[in-house]
Structure 1
């Protein structure tokens, strides 16, 4: 279960970067990957197939996955054969346009287009080279995706994606994986990284020819969140406990360029009480939200990240999700998140919306009026009271609902990287031998929460992870 905000670490001291002259290496490896989430696992596989050297993955917690395991695991990609098989003719430029329009062109346009182009290669590589199970999603789209482009693991659950990646790591001879082994410090020789200090109870100095930072963002560090993302600072934290900003702070200590540190992904529909995620597919199949007065308060079609702030601003930071039996039956068995929420007793049901509102605790008469005006707008094919036009359907009894709250999932700001995921410095150069991806690197969502388009997190996590691993592995054998 994700940690509550109050349990976040407040350790904000600058991580130490040691001079190589002050250490003696205990062991050596060719590629050292700090972090065993989606970025790190993909980076390790990509590096392993490009070099005969040793790739070492160090994960500080007892389990792999990081934020990837908490996600749906659905990877957006444009121009894949799976899209073509479904009759969808899309180019990476189309996907890039959706991302840039969502963030008002605040993200690095060149990097957005680069990652969208690489998204095709990423999907085919995962499926063809590593036998990762991905299924094309053609039954719903997230807000502001212009077409179907999600490729999902079984159960639409990131844990299943991580499990398969971990199995491939286990079966790859030149990759070693250690859990309970946090990276504590980096070791540098001038302006190049040459190793790290790692260990939980016994620290070792590890020499490495290449280091890939895959330690994720800083959403689990209270001080960094307060400083950079104060708007969401008091919300529930629904991310991995390991997101303490280590990699970002190490990079900053090496004069790395930082960008979009105010950017983050929120979520509007974490169920209060059970702590389960009510998948946004509930909303995009026709559900909507009201506050305790039974009033609509935000356009749900702008996305779960932007809407999270609207939910947090409601009394007691809660809203009430309203949907019907048709949606319930459609999602049951399709999303592991939804099934878990059902098992935990997250949803209540009633034969009419007034009874549902009474059970939830929102105003029955106003909720019934909100439903009536919503259904009327859908039938008339016109914008509803909050301006929503997408992902709607007429809702009919019996009804279902949940009490939800806004939350912080992960941050999107971090180290600026180049097309190979090498960490860039403030003067436009690169930190020698150092790469970053996922939450450690700056994302493609621009500033704040509103620029986040569903799937942006895995686009950078897996996309940059693969690019970093490919370049690190290839350059080792070329040196």
Structure 2
């Protein structure tokens, strides 16, 4: 693929549609469903042979407040409380209007997908995510992002919404504050052009572009890339060429709990339910309760850039609701032992140090790192997984108007018909990695995709 660029509108297009959506991850497909429901003529294009995106690599969990799923579980929540949690995690670095829009929209989107499109959402009720003051994570039965992608795709196909894969957009056509269409590249190198009345960028961020990662977030450029390789930063390139505003390009979601060398995500429930991370010396090295995004840098700073997450069979039972964890067990990434001494031997950790680390956890107290502990201690059989730090996706992007998802211009106002959503738009994770609240990625994908799609 050549460098994504912007040029003048051609005399004619090969095809013309009302709404063209670039990218068929969760964001693009939600936008397509919303646009179709609004009566628009929609074309959804995807660079890959099949839709997947970063969503397929995630647990597929979407945070939302005030839903009927929460009410059924006896959970009292509100958009205002949710927005407060987002801002607290991001140190008030976000656009408050954008935060409130997402927080107020998320519940409606979840219930719309459930009621109008049959997505079988349910609430995660057996553990807490860092930074969330209420249990508000909604997911499909397997707690798998791949299931979310497959279910959305099935609905797109059932409604006969045109979805064309193996088409990578590499050029936008524009005349001033309007975008008139895009050029698409086919696998054989040939091209075709599509004109449109509206263009929605749902092509995610730039985590797969190592040069851009090094430029904007050098502290994580040595991490395992755990996102989708198609995240090459086209939206940012086009935005710069068009004169769009960008914001927080140094923001990203990391994860410090990816099984190594297996490359499988280990749910953070292994930590929140009482597990710890130790380095190769058998010692804890930080306050794990801060969150899994900032855990990436903490783990990468340890000897050999790895750590071990240590938990027990009780926690493993909770983790098995996630398909990723079951796959990690099948591939032998999860070690089990009746004693800490035996676990240390299997993991190659110093036995005395590991035993001392675990026994010194102050039940019903606060440790030296500032982590607060409950009354349930780790008990045999014990478990451990070797993990490393990873970059999942970028959180900065094109600045948008929160109410319309239209892209803002660097001078003033917005483009007439250019929208950005999901990873293509600036999210609500602040300026770095520590501002990422669990689920922020899919929160932006679902809410902004819905807003942009409805137009």
Say whether the fold is shared (TM-score over 0.5). Answer: yes
The 2-side partners of 1:276 and 1:71 are apart by 10
Deviation track 1:86-136 (CA, whole Å, cap 9, x = no partner) reads 111211000000010001000111110111001121111111111111011
Deviation track 1:402-450 (CA, whole Å, cap 9, x = no partner) reads 1100000000000001121111111231122110111100010001110
Partner of 2:340: 353
Q: Are 2:93 and 1:106 equivalent residues in the alignment?
A: yes
The 2-side partners of 1:421 and 1:391 are apart by 42
The 1-side partners of 2:277 and 2:102 are apart by 34
| 1:155/1:182 CA distance change after superposition, 3 Å | same
Partner of 1:60: 47
CA contact (8 A) 2:5 2:237 kept: no
Deviation track 1:168-216 (CA, whole Å, cap 9, x = no partner) reads 100113x200111111111112221010001222210111111100010
Structure 1 residue runs of 4 or more that deviate by more than 2 Å after TM superposition: 329-332, 390-393
Partner of 2:123: 136
Partner of 1:300: 288
2:5 alignment partner, one of 6, 16, 31: 16
Instruction: Report 1:10-49 matches (<5 A).
Output: 15-20=4-9, 22-49=10-37
The 2-side partners of 1:267 and 1:248 are apart by 23
The 2-side partners of 1:391 and 1:58 are apart by 49
The 1-side partners of 2:5 and 2:376 are apart by 54
TM-score normalised by L of structure 2: 0.97
Partner of 1:69: 56
Partner of 2:388: 405
Partner of 1:385: 368
The 2-side partners of 1:171 and 1:366 are apart by 57
Partner of 2:143: 156
Q: Are 2:421 and 1:440 equivalent residues in the alignment?
A: no
Partner of 1:211: 199
CA contact (8 A) 1:272 1:405 kept: yes
CA contact (8 A) 1:236 1:408 kept: yes
Deviation at 1:249, TM superposition (A): 1.2
Partner of 2:323: 336
Instruction: Report 1:458-473 matches (<5 A).
Output: 458-471=442-455
SS at match of 1:156: coil
Partner of 2:218: 230
SS at match of 2:179: strand
Q: Are 2:173 and 1:187 equivalent residues in the alignment?
A: yes
Deviation at 1:81, TM superposition (A): 1.3
Deviation at 1:252, TM superposition (A): 1.6
Unaligned regions of 5+ residues in structure 1, if any? 1-10, 472-479
SS at match of 1:439: helix
The 2-side partners of 1:198 and 1:256 are apart by 22
The 2-side partners of 1:304 and 1:99 are apart by 15
The 2-side partners of 1:428 and 1:114 are apart by 21
Q: Would you say how many aligned residue pairs link Structure 1 and Structure 2?
A: 452
Deviation at 1:273, TM superposition (A): 1.5
Partner of 2:356: 369
TM-score normalised by L of structure 1: 0.92
The 1-side partners of 2:250 and 2:373 are apart by 28
Partner of 2:230: 242
Calculate the aligned-residue CA RMSD, in Å: 1.3
Partner of 1:270: 258
The 1-side partners of 2:43 and 2:231 are apart by 20
CA contact (8 A) 2:365 2:373 kept: no
Unaligned regions of 5+ residues in structure 2, if any? none
The 2-side partners of 1:106 and 1:390 are apart by 29
CA contact (8 A) 1:287 1:392 kept: no
Q: Are 2:301 and 1:313 equivalent residues in the alignment?
A: yes
Deviation at 1:29, TM superposition (A): 1.1
Partner of 2:314: 326
CA contact (8 A) 2:365 2:374 kept: no
